[in-house]
Structure 1
Amino acid sequence: MSELTYVERAARVKLMIFDVDGVLTDGSLHYGADGEALKTFNVQDGLGIKLIQEAGIDTAIISARKSPQVIKRVADLGINHLHQGGHDKLTPFNALLEKTGLTAEQVGFIGDDVVDLPILSRVGFAVAVPNGRQEVLERAHHVTVAHGGRGAVREVCELVLHAQGLYERVMAQFLV
Protein backbone atom coordinates (compact mmCIF):
# COMPACT_ATOMS: atom_id res chain seq x y z
CA MET A 1 0.00 0.00 0.00
CA SER A 2 1.36 3.41 -0.92
CA GLU A 3 1.82 6.26 1.53
CA LEU A 4 -1.00 8.83 1.52
CA THR A 5 -0.27 12.30 0.19
CA TYR A 6 -0.78 15.25 2.51
CA VAL A 7 -3.86 16.24 0.47
CA GLU A 8 -5.36 12.76 0.96
CA ARG A 9 -4.64 13.08 4.67
CA ALA A 10 -6.28 16.53 4.80
CA ALA A 11 -9.35 15.07 3.09
CA ARG A 12 -9.96 12.81 6.11
CA VAL A 13 -9.84 15.55 8.77
CA LYS A 14 -12.93 15.84 10.96
CA LEU A 15 -11.17 17.67 13.81
CA MET A 16 -8.39 20.23 13.44
CA ILE A 17 -6.28 20.97 16.52
CA PHE A 18 -4.09 24.06 16.80
CA ASP A 19 -1.15 24.87 19.01
CA VAL A 20 -1.03 28.52 20.09
CA ASP A 21 2.47 29.94 20.63
CA GLY A 22 4.36 29.76 17.35
CA VAL A 23 1.28 28.67 15.37
CA LEU A 24 -1.69 30.95 16.13
CA THR A 25 0.88 33.55 17.19
CA ASP A 26 4.40 34.20 15.95
CA GLY A 27 5.74 32.84 19.24
CA SER A 28 6.65 36.24 20.67
CA LEU A 29 5.57 37.16 24.17
CA HIS A 30 5.23 40.86 24.91
CA TYR A 31 5.13 41.81 28.58
CA GLY A 32 3.14 44.81 29.76
CA ALA A 33 4.18 47.02 32.69
CA ASP A 34 2.20 44.80 35.07
CA GLY A 35 4.05 41.70 33.87
CA GLU A 36 1.12 40.33 31.88
CA ALA A 37 2.14 38.47 28.73
CA LEU A 38 0.38 39.76 25.61
CA LYS A 39 -0.28 37.76 22.45
CA THR A 40 -1.06 38.86 18.92
CA PHE A 41 -3.42 36.78 16.78
CA ASN A 42 -3.88 36.99 13.01
CA VAL A 43 -7.45 37.82 11.88
CA GLN A 44 -7.07 35.90 8.64
CA ASP A 45 -6.16 32.79 10.66
CA GLY A 46 -9.31 33.38 12.70
CA LEU A 47 -11.50 33.53 9.61
CA GLY A 48 -9.89 30.32 8.35
CA ILE A 49 -10.96 28.59 11.57
CA LYS A 50 -14.50 29.96 11.19
CA LEU A 51 -14.62 28.68 7.59
CA ILE A 52 -13.69 25.10 8.49
CA GLN A 53 -16.21 25.21 11.32
CA GLU A 54 -18.90 26.30 8.82
CA ALA A 55 -17.93 23.28 6.72
CA GLY A 56 -18.60 20.98 9.69
CA ILE A 57 -15.03 20.41 10.83
CA ASP A 58 -14.59 20.54 14.59
CA THR A 59 -11.80 22.65 16.12
CA ALA A 60 -9.65 22.50 19.24
CA ILE A 61 -6.67 24.13 20.89
CA ILE A 62 -4.09 22.27 22.94
CA SER A 63 -1.45 24.61 24.35
CA ALA A 64 1.32 24.15 26.91
CA ARG A 65 0.93 27.72 28.23
CA LYS A 66 -2.07 29.07 30.14
CA SER A 67 -3.31 32.42 28.95
CA PRO A 68 -6.49 34.46 29.46
CA GLN A 69 -5.98 35.84 25.93
CA VAL A 70 -6.38 32.32 24.53
CA ILE A 71 -9.62 31.83 26.46
CA LYS A 72 -10.91 35.07 24.90
CA ARG A 73 -9.77 34.04 21.41
CA VAL A 74 -11.41 30.62 21.77
CA ALA A 75 -14.68 32.29 22.78
CA ASP A 76 -14.46 34.79 19.90
CA LEU A 77 -13.92 32.00 17.37
CA GLY A 78 -16.34 29.46 18.85
CA ILE A 79 -13.66 26.79 19.18
CA ASN A 80 -15.30 23.79 20.86
CA HIS A 81 -12.38 22.28 22.76
CA LEU A 82 -9.62 23.95 24.76
CA HIS A 83 -6.82 22.56 26.91
CA GLN A 84 -4.13 24.83 28.33
CA GLY A 85 -1.24 24.19 30.67
CA GLY A 86 1.43 21.52 30.84
CA HIS A 87 3.90 20.05 28.42
CA ASP A 88 1.96 16.76 28.37
CA LYS A 89 -0.23 17.36 25.35
CA LEU A 90 -0.86 13.67 24.72
CA THR A 91 -3.22 13.20 27.68
CA PRO A 92 -5.64 15.95 26.56
CA PHE A 93 -5.33 14.69 22.97
CA ASN A 94 -6.37 11.18 24.02
CA ALA A 95 -9.22 12.61 26.11
CA LEU A 96 -10.38 14.60 23.08
CA LEU A 97 -10.41 11.47 20.92
CA GLU A 98 -12.49 9.69 23.54
CA LYS A 99 -14.87 12.65 23.89
CA THR A 100 -15.42 13.06 20.14
CA GLY A 101 -15.33 9.37 19.21
CA LEU A 102 -12.86 10.11 16.42
CA THR A 103 -9.76 8.12 15.54
CA ALA A 104 -6.33 9.76 15.38
CA GLU A 105 -6.40 9.31 11.58
CA GLN A 106 -9.39 11.69 11.40
CA VAL A 107 -7.50 14.45 13.21
CA GLY A 108 -5.18 17.16 11.96
CA PHE A 109 -2.74 19.04 14.18
CA ILE A 110 -0.49 22.00 13.48
CA GLY A 111 2.48 22.58 15.76
CA ASP A 112 5.94 24.05 15.88
CA ASP A 113 7.97 22.73 18.82
CA VAL A 114 9.10 19.46 20.39
CA VAL A 115 6.24 19.44 22.93
CA ASP A 116 3.94 18.94 19.91
CA LEU A 117 5.68 15.77 18.71
CA PRO A 118 3.60 13.27 20.72
CA ILE A 119 0.45 14.51 18.96
CA LEU A 120 2.10 15.11 15.57
CA SER A 121 3.37 11.54 15.49
CA ARG A 122 -0.15 10.14 16.02
CA VAL A 123 -2.53 12.24 13.92
CA GLY A 124 -3.57 11.49 10.38
CA PHE A 125 -2.58 14.95 9.15
CA ALA A 126 0.49 16.42 10.87
CA VAL A 127 1.38 19.98 9.91
CA ALA A 128 4.31 22.18 10.89
CA VAL A 129 5.07 25.84 10.33
CA PRO A 130 8.35 26.65 8.54
CA ASN A 131 9.68 28.48 11.60
CA GLY A 132 9.17 25.33 13.68
CA ARG A 133 11.91 23.19 15.20
CA GLN A 134 13.75 20.84 12.86
CA GLU A 135 12.49 17.73 14.69
CA VAL A 136 8.93 18.87 14.02
CA LEU A 137 9.56 19.76 10.37
CA GLU A 138 11.05 16.31 9.75
CA ARG A 139 7.99 14.52 11.14
CA ALA A 140 5.24 16.61 9.53
CA HIS A 141 3.19 15.42 6.56
CA HIS A 142 3.05 19.03 5.38
CA VAL A 143 4.90 22.27 6.12
CA THR A 144 3.08 25.53 5.47
CA VAL A 145 4.52 28.33 3.39
CA ALA A 146 3.29 30.99 5.83
CA HIS A 147 4.88 31.27 9.27
CA GLY A 148 3.13 30.86 12.60
CA GLY A 149 1.00 33.90 13.43
CA ARG A 150 1.37 35.07 9.84
CA GLY A 151 -1.29 33.08 7.98
CA ALA A 152 -0.18 29.47 8.50
CA VAL A 153 -3.47 28.52 10.14
CA ARG A 154 -5.50 30.09 7.32
CA GLU A 155 -3.36 28.21 4.81
CA VAL A 156 -4.05 24.88 6.53
CA CYS A 157 -7.76 25.57 6.86
CA GLU A 158 -8.05 26.37 3.17
CA LEU A 159 -5.99 23.30 2.28
CA VAL A 160 -8.41 21.10 4.29
CA LEU A 161 -11.41 22.76 2.64
CA HIS A 162 -9.95 22.24 -0.86
CA ALA A 163 -9.01 18.63 -0.09
CA GLN A 164 -12.58 17.91 1.04
CA GLY A 165 -14.18 19.73 -1.90
CA LEU A 166 -15.78 22.27 0.45
CA TYR A 167 -13.88 25.45 -0.39
CA GLU A 168 -16.28 26.80 -3.02
CA ARG A 169 -19.30 26.12 -0.80
CA VAL A 170 -17.97 28.08 2.19
CA MET A 171 -16.56 30.85 0.01
CA ALA A 172 -19.84 31.34 -1.91
CA GLN A 173 -21.10 33.70 0.81
CA PHE A 174 -18.28 36.13 -0.02
CA LEU A 175 -18.09 35.73 -3.79
CA VAL A 176 -21.46 37.25 -4.70
Structure 2
Amino acid sequence: MTASAFTSSLPPDALAKAAGVRLMIFDVDGVLTDGGLFYGEEGEAFKRFNALDGHGIKMMQQFGTAAAIITARQSPYVLRRARDLGIAHVFQGVHDKRQAFEQLLQHTQLTAAACGYLGDDIIDLPVLTRVAFKACVANGHREVKARCDYVTQATGGNGAVREVCDLVLAAQGNYEAALAPYLA
Protein backbone atom coordinates (compact mmCIF):
# COMPACT_ATOMS: atom_id res chain seq x y z
CA MET A 1 0.00 0.00 0.00
CA THR A 2 1.41 3.38 -0.95
CA ALA A 3 1.48 6.26 1.51
CA SER A 4 -1.22 8.07 -0.45
CA ALA A 5 -3.48 5.00 -0.39
CA PHE A 6 -2.81 4.56 3.31
CA THR A 7 -3.46 8.21 4.20
CA SER A 8 -6.58 8.40 2.04
CA SER A 9 -8.16 5.78 4.30
CA LEU A 10 -7.54 7.89 7.42
CA PRO A 11 -9.71 10.71 8.82
CA PRO A 12 -8.32 14.05 7.56
CA ASP A 13 -8.77 15.77 10.92
CA ALA A 14 -6.83 12.99 12.69
CA LEU A 15 -4.02 13.34 10.16
CA ALA A 16 -3.93 17.11 10.62
CA LYS A 17 -3.68 16.78 14.40
CA ALA A 18 -1.09 13.97 14.24
CA ALA A 19 1.09 16.04 11.90
CA GLY A 20 2.16 18.28 14.79
CA VAL A 21 2.88 15.53 17.31
CA ARG A 22 6.45 15.59 18.65
CA LEU A 23 5.76 13.29 21.61
CA MET A 24 3.40 10.31 21.49
CA ILE A 25 2.37 9.03 24.93
CA PHE A 26 1.14 5.49 25.54
CA ASP A 27 -0.73 3.80 28.35
CA VAL A 28 0.40 0.22 28.99
CA ASP A 29 -2.36 -2.16 30.14
CA GLY A 30 -4.90 -2.44 27.34
CA VAL A 31 -2.74 -0.41 24.91
CA LEU A 32 0.83 -1.75 24.77
CA THR A 33 -0.60 -5.03 26.11
CA ASP A 34 -3.96 -6.71 25.65
CA GLY A 35 -4.84 -5.79 29.22
CA GLY A 36 -4.51 -9.34 30.52
CA LEU A 37 -2.37 -9.95 33.59
CA PHE A 38 -0.64 -13.25 34.25
CA TYR A 39 0.37 -13.77 37.89
CA GLY A 40 3.36 -15.92 38.85
CA GLU A 41 3.81 -17.84 42.09
CA GLU A 42 5.59 -14.87 43.66
CA GLY A 43 2.64 -12.60 42.82
CA GLU A 44 4.38 -10.77 39.98
CA ALA A 45 2.25 -9.78 37.01
CA PHE A 46 3.64 -10.76 33.61
CA LYS A 47 2.80 -8.78 30.50
CA ARG A 48 2.81 -9.68 26.81
CA PHE A 49 3.98 -7.02 24.38
CA ASN A 50 3.50 -6.99 20.61
CA ALA A 51 6.58 -6.92 18.34
CA LEU A 52 4.71 -4.99 15.62
CA ASP A 53 3.89 -2.27 18.12
CA GLY A 54 7.49 -2.09 19.26
CA HIS A 55 8.86 -1.72 15.76
CA GLY A 56 6.31 1.01 15.05
CA ILE A 57 7.54 2.96 18.07
CA LYS A 58 11.16 2.57 16.96
CA MET A 59 10.36 3.81 13.44
CA MET A 60 8.34 6.74 14.74
CA GLN A 61 11.20 7.76 17.03
CA GLN A 62 13.70 7.38 14.19
CA PHE A 63 11.78 10.10 12.34
CA GLY A 64 11.75 12.54 15.24
CA THR A 65 8.62 11.78 17.25
CA ALA A 66 9.56 10.75 20.79
CA ALA A 67 7.59 8.21 22.82
CA ALA A 68 6.65 8.18 26.50
CA ILE A 69 4.74 5.89 28.84
CA ILE A 70 2.33 6.85 31.60
CA THR A 71 0.80 3.88 33.43
CA ALA A 72 -1.03 3.27 36.68
CA ARG A 73 0.69 -0.05 37.38
CA GLN A 74 4.29 -0.58 38.44
CA SER A 75 6.23 -3.32 36.64
CA PRO A 76 9.87 -4.14 35.93
CA TYR A 77 8.68 -5.56 32.59
CA VAL A 78 7.49 -2.13 31.49
CA LEU A 79 10.92 -0.65 32.26
CA ARG A 80 12.59 -3.45 30.32
CA ARG A 81 10.32 -2.96 27.31
CA ALA A 82 10.83 0.81 27.40
CA ARG A 83 14.60 0.34 27.53
CA ASP A 84 14.44 -2.11 24.58
CA LEU A 85 12.50 0.48 22.56
CA GLY A 86 14.58 3.50 23.58
CA ILE A 87 11.71 5.18 25.44
CA ALA A 88 13.35 7.61 27.86
CA HIS A 89 10.27 8.92 29.67
CA VAL A 90 8.44 6.31 31.76
CA PHE A 91 6.00 7.14 34.54
CA GLN A 92 4.76 4.10 36.48
CA GLY A 93 2.51 3.66 39.49
CA VAL A 94 0.72 6.86 38.48
CA HIS A 95 -2.88 7.22 39.57
CA ASP A 96 -3.01 10.93 38.74
CA LYS A 97 -1.97 10.85 35.11
CA ARG A 98 -2.53 14.61 34.80
CA GLN A 99 0.29 15.25 37.27
CA ALA A 100 2.64 12.86 35.46
CA PHE A 101 1.75 14.57 32.18
CA GLU A 102 2.66 17.98 33.62
CA GLN A 103 6.01 16.56 34.79
CA LEU A 104 6.57 15.08 31.34
CA LEU A 105 5.93 18.45 29.70
CA GLN A 106 8.44 20.07 32.05
CA HIS A 107 11.09 17.40 31.33
CA THR A 108 10.65 17.61 27.56
CA GLN A 109 9.95 21.36 27.40
CA LEU A 110 7.03 20.64 25.07
CA THR A 111 3.47 21.92 25.22
CA ALA A 112 0.34 19.79 25.22
CA ALA A 113 -0.25 20.98 21.64
CA ALA A 114 2.83 18.98 20.57
CA CYS A 115 1.63 15.74 22.17
CA GLY A 116 -0.55 12.79 21.29
CA TYR A 117 -1.95 10.10 23.56
CA LEU A 118 -3.17 6.53 22.99
CA GLY A 119 -5.32 5.18 25.80
CA ASP A 120 -8.14 2.77 26.49
CA ASP A 121 -9.88 3.57 29.78
CA ILE A 122 -11.29 6.49 31.74
CA ILE A 123 -8.12 6.81 33.85
CA ASP A 124 -6.53 8.12 30.63
CA LEU A 125 -9.01 10.99 30.17
CA PRO A 126 -7.10 13.61 32.25
CA VAL A 127 -4.24 13.42 29.73
CA LEU A 128 -6.23 12.50 26.66
CA THR A 129 -8.41 15.60 26.90
CA ARG A 130 -5.35 17.89 27.03
CA VAL A 131 -3.26 16.68 24.08
CA ALA A 132 -3.60 17.71 20.45
CA PHE A 133 -4.00 14.20 19.00
CA LYS A 134 -6.28 11.83 20.91
CA ALA A 135 -6.46 8.11 20.07
CA CYS A 136 -8.12 5.05 21.58
CA VAL A 137 -7.74 1.34 20.92
CA ALA A 138 -10.64 -0.51 19.27
CA ASN A 139 -11.59 -2.28 22.48
CA GLY A 140 -11.32 0.83 24.64
CA HIS A 141 -14.05 2.21 26.90
CA ARG A 142 -16.89 4.00 25.08
CA GLU A 143 -16.30 7.26 27.02
CA VAL A 144 -12.71 7.34 25.79
CA LYS A 145 -13.64 6.49 22.19
CA ALA A 146 -16.20 9.30 22.18
CA ARG A 147 -13.50 11.88 22.91
CA CYS A 148 -10.91 10.74 20.38
CA ASP A 149 -9.77 11.90 16.97
CA TYR A 150 -8.94 8.34 16.00
CA VAL A 151 -10.07 4.88 17.13
CA THR A 152 -7.83 2.09 15.93
CA GLN A 153 -9.08 -0.94 14.05
CA ALA A 154 -6.74 -3.18 16.04
CA THR A 155 -7.22 -3.94 19.71
CA GLY A 156 -4.80 -3.12 22.50
CA GLY A 157 -1.68 -5.30 22.50
CA ASN A 158 -2.55 -6.55 19.02
CA GLY A 159 -1.24 -3.87 16.67
CA ALA A 160 -3.12 -0.76 17.84
CA VAL A 161 0.10 1.02 18.79
CA ARG A 162 1.64 0.20 15.39
CA GLU A 163 -1.47 1.55 13.68
CA VAL A 164 -1.10 4.87 15.50
CA CYS A 165 2.66 5.03 14.86
CA ASP A 166 2.02 4.45 11.15
CA LEU A 167 -0.63 7.18 11.21
CA VAL A 168 1.80 9.64 12.84
CA LEU A 169 4.51 8.74 10.31
CA ALA A 170 2.05 9.23 7.43
CA ALA A 171 0.69 12.51 8.82
CA GLN A 172 4.23 13.87 9.04
CA GLY A 173 5.15 12.72 5.54
CA ASN A 174 7.56 10.04 6.76
CA TYR A 175 5.66 6.82 6.05
CA GLU A 176 7.33 6.05 2.70
CA ALA A 177 10.79 6.86 4.09
CA ALA A 178 10.15 4.59 7.08
CA LEU A 179 9.28 1.72 4.72
CA ALA A 180 12.07 2.38 2.19
CA PRO A 181 14.87 0.42 3.91
CA TYR A 182 12.68 -2.69 3.88
CA LEU A 183 11.73 -2.36 0.21
CA ALA A 184 15.25 -1.82 -1.18
- Which protein is richer in helix relative to its size? 2
1: CA distance, partners of 2:148 / 2:95: 19
1:164-175 superposed matches below 5 A: 164-175=172-183
1:71 paired residue among 79, 87, 91:
79
Q: Which amino acid aligns with 1:80?
A: A
Measure how far apart 1:21 and its partner are: 0.1
1:8-157 matches, cutoff 5 A: 8-157=16-165
User: What per-residue deviation string (whole Å, max 9, x for no partner) do you get for residues 26-51 of structure 1?
Assistant: 00001112221110000000000000
Which 5+ residue runs of structure 2 have no aligned equivalent?
1-11
Whole-Å separation in 1 of the counterparts to 2:25 and 2:62: 16
Q: For each residue in 1:98-147, what CA deviation from the matched residue of structure 2 results, as whole angstroms up to 9, or x when unmatched?
A: 22121111101000011100000000001001111111111111100000
Determine helix, strand or coil for the equivalent of 1:172. Answer: helix
Once the two structures are superposed, residues 82-106 of structure 1 have per-residue CA deviations (whole angstroms, 9 ceiling, x without a partner) of: 0001310111101111221211111
CA distance in 1, matches of 2:67, 2:143: 25
Distance 2:47 2:156 in 1: 13
Q: Choose 110-119 or 96-105, whichever is displaced more.
A: 96-105
TM-score normalised according to structure 2 size: 0.92
Q: Retained in 1: the 8 A contact 2:21–2:65?
A: yes
Segments ≥4 residues shifted beyond 2 Å: none
Amino acid at match of 2:32: L
Aligned length: 173
